[in-house]
Every structure is written in C-alpha cells, then in structure tokens.
Amino acid sequence: RTLRIGLIPGDGIGREVIPAGRRILEALPSSLNLNFSFVNLDAGFETFQKTGTALPDKTVETLKKECDGALFGAVSSPSTKVAGYSSPIVALRKKLDLYANVRPVKTTAGSSNGKPIDLVIVRENTEDLYVKEERTVEGPNGKVAEAIKRISERASHRISTIAGEIALRRQGIRDAAPGTSSHSQPMVTITHKSNVLSQTDGLFRETARAALAAEKFSSIHVEEQIVDSMVYKLFRQPEYYDVIVAPNLYGDILSDGAAALVGSLGLVPSANVGDGFAIGEPCHGSAPDIEGKGIANPIATLRSVALMLEFLGEPNAAAKIYTAVDANLDEAKFLSPDMGGNATTQQVLDDVLKRL
C-alpha cells in the first residue's frame, strides 16, 4: 500500500519537526509493506504575508484530491490584530470535515514519577465558538462584540461515537497486553457546562449520553464532569481518566492542561480525524523563542505520525513508532531542552529511528 502524505510545516518550529515526521515514515521497516509519497504544501502566517491568504486553495485541493493523510506543523499567531488573517488549521479542520481532534496524553513506564497517566481527549473539531461567527456593534457605552457558540446534535453525536469507539479500541489493546495499564474498564467522561449553558452544552451532554448508550458501547462506563471541575480533577487525579469527550473549546483548554501533566507540550500529539482522512499535528505551537535553533522536540510530531497512521488503518506501523518513542523517553539519554536534556531535534530523531 502506498500512502500519499501532504506535508504542511507552517511557521516557526513547524519547519523543524515536520521533516522529522517525514523521516520516520521513510524509515519504517519494509516488512510493513507500506510506502509513502509526499507533497509539500503551504499554509501559515508567512504564507499569509506573502500571498494574502493563510490557507491557499491549492493546499486544500491537493489534500482533497491527492492525499490520504497529512502532517501539519504549527502556525504563528500575529501578536496584534491583522486584518484578513485567520488561523489556517481551524479552516482546514472545517474544510476537510475533520470532525474529531484526538489528543492522547500518557506517561511512559520510566518517565512517570507520580501515577501513570494514560488518557485521551477527544475534542469536537468543527463547531462551538470555532464557527467564528462574530459581529461588533457600537453602543451607547462603547463597543459590544458577540460570537456564536454553536452545538449541533449531529456533531455531538459523531464525536461521542468516535470517543466510544476509541475507548473500545484502547480496551482491546489493554486486553492484548495485560498489566500495561491501570484502567480495567473502558470509560468515557463527558465534559460540558450545562449548569450554565442548558441548551448548547445541555444538547452536547444529552446527545453524548444517548450516543454512548448504544448497545455496542455497553461495556463502557460513562461519566460526566462540568468543565471547571474537570480541570480540577484532571490535576488532582489524572490517572483516573481514560477517554474525555468535549466540545471544541473545552477540548482545546483541557488538552493543554493535560500536556502540562506529562511535563511538556513537546510530547503531546494530536490527529484531526474525518471519514477516511487524518492530519497529524503536534499540540505545541510555532515557538518563536526557539525557532531556528534546531532544538525543538520532535516527539509530539513523531507520535502524531503514529496517530495519523492509526486512523488511516495502519495500527502496526503506529505501534512501531510508539514503542520506539517510548524507549527513547524511558532511556532518557537523548532528550530535548524542554525535557531537561540537551539533545538537538536531529539527535532525538536519530535515537528514535535506531529503535524502529
């Protein structure tokens, strides 16, 4: 099988980590019978400055027509408001209907001095405040701006369904390797703020409850947690959580919070997942402070590559990458500066590659 992968480095350290992602795909053992071809695509703030658009049509068209999946690096946000600029990753998620943003956060056997964390945040990726429908009016007391938070039954249902499927798949992996996880049962925690937003978040909550009540999910323990308590609990007992499903914005916030728990955003991958398409994307940003120094942590990207492969139906290739990355972290010999080490991007990558 040959997979065609779009490479969208974006800005800043995106350009340093996406090449690492390409390298690990090229280095996968031939026994997997997987081949890759690549196409370089533009997006980001620099693209905006050059062309007037942060997400050229060509990028979207090429992904739609030619590609099986993609890797997205990071984009810089302008530090002041720039007319006409709008985040290309948010647009891409919507244009390709990548309705789920999947963000696993876990400690490795060696790295966790506290309790082991092994959870995944399944974030709705197309609506909520990210519809970006805003308006501003000039009132008697100054400007008043409004934004729409939109929650639909359809999007809430499909995100909850994929959350349930991910919970079952994780349990399958645990059943195949007993003793590797502290979770004994699949669990999904529904996050919302329906005590304030009874209609929008209320709809998310009820729809998630209904989706997860399906016969095929009967082995899943379903709980819910108001978003503010969820942040509190996430920090007090992260080891308790398995799958957390959340509307877009809460998912965004929760995943950065969870990243803090495992030590660095540089470790946390994500995949933007739609039907038959996935974009791997490290959770970190473009990191202007370390840009160009060659010291960005490539782990989040390598794990995002694996996650993309999982959702493209290649779990064995994904497992090879996860295992190699975990071994690098457990040995802790080649760690990038964000992890307290002094290895370069290249050194971390080489160390992972040699373990493939």
Please choose, out of 51-59, 133-141, 169-177, 344-352, the segment that lies near its own copies by the rule CB under 8 A: 133-141
Per CB under 8 A, the list member of 135, 175, 176, 275 interacting with its own copies is 135
Closest among 69, 65, 73 to 89, alpha carbons compared: 73
Please state, in angstroms and rounded to a whole number, the distance separating the CA atoms of residues 88 and 54.
6
**Min dist. Cβ of residue 196 to ligand IPM (A):** 5
329, amino acid identity: L
CA distance 17 to 283: 12
Answer yes or no whether residue 87 interacts with ligand IPM by CB under 6 A. Answer: yes
Is residue 4 within the footprint of its own copies (CB under 8 A)?
Answer: no
Q: Would you say 2 or 199 has its CB closer to its own copies?
A: 199
Q: Should residue 260 be labelled a site residue for ligand IPM when binding is judged by CB under 6 A?
A: no
Going 57 to 270 to 26 to 288, the CA torsion angle's sign is positive
Largest Cα–Cα distance in the chain? 70
- Name the packing angle between helices 227-236 and 248-261 (round to 10°): 10
At residue 8, the 3 state secondary structure works out as: strand
Q: How far apart are CA 9 and CA 72, in angstroms?
A: 6
346 binds ligand IPM (CB under 6 A): no
What number of CA atoms fall less than 13 Å from residue 185's CA on the CB side?
A: 10
Does position 334 interact with its own copies (CB under 8 A)? The reply is: no
**Total residues at the site for ligand IPM (CB under 6 A)?**
7
90 in contact with ligand IPM (CB under 6 A): yes
87 binds its own copies, rule: CB under 8 A: yes
Closer CB to its own copies, 24 or 234, in the complex: 234
Query: Of 11, 252, 310, 351, which one interacts with ligand IPM (CB under 6 A)?
Result: 252
Give residue for tokens 């999946």.
Answer: 69
Mark the segment that binds ligand IPM (CB under 6 A) among 43-51, 58-66, 82-90, 316-324. 82-90
Neighbours of 32 (CB within 10 A): 13
Q: What is the dihedral angle through the alpha carbons of 177, 178, 182, 186, rounded to the nearest 10 degrees? A: 80
Residue 199: Cβ-neighbour burial (10 angstroms; 0-12, 13-18, 19+): exposed
Work out how close the CB of 134 gets to its own copies at its nearest, in angstroms, rounded to a whole number: 4
Q: How far is the CB of 156 from ligand IPM (least distance, A)?
A: 18
Which string of x and - marks every residue 163-202 that binds its own copies (by CB under 8 A)?
A: ------------------------------xxxxxxxx-x
Taking each helix axis as running N to C, give the angle between helix 345-354 and helix 315-331, from 0 to 180 degrees, rounded to the nearest 10.
120
Q: Which listed option, ligand IPM, its own copies, none, makes contact with residue 173 (CB within 5 to 8 Å by class)?
A: none
Q: Does 258 bind ligand IPM (CB under 6 A)?
A: no
Q: Quick one: DSSP state of residue 76?
A: P
Task: Specify the residue, 105 or 295, whose C-beta has the smaller distance to its own copies.
Answer: 105
Query: Interface with ligand IPM includes 53 (CB under 6 A)?
Result: no
Residue in the block written with tokens 């010291």: 295
Is residue 127 a contact partner of residue 156, using CB atoms and an 8 Å limit? no
Which among its own copies, ligand IPM, none contacts residue 81 (Cβ within 5 to 8 A by kind)? its own copies
In the bound state with its own copies, the residue whose beta carbon lies nearer, of 40 and 86, is 86
Cβ at position 286, least distance to ligand IPM in Å: 9
Binding mask 202-241 for its own copies (x = CB under 8 A): xx--x-------------------xxxx-xx-xxx-----
Contacts made by residues 340-345, CB under 8 angstroms, sequence distance 24+: 344/294, 344/295, 345/16, 345/17, 345/20, 345/294, 345/295, 345/296, 345/297, 345/298
The site for its own copies (CB under 8 A) is made up of: 77, 81, 86-87, 90, 129-130, 132, 134-136, 139, 141-154, 157, 193-200, 202-203, 206, 226-229, 231-232, 234-236, 249, 252-253, 255-257, 259-261, 265, 285
The site for ligand IPM (CB under 6 A) is made up of: 87, 89-90, 195-196, 228, 252
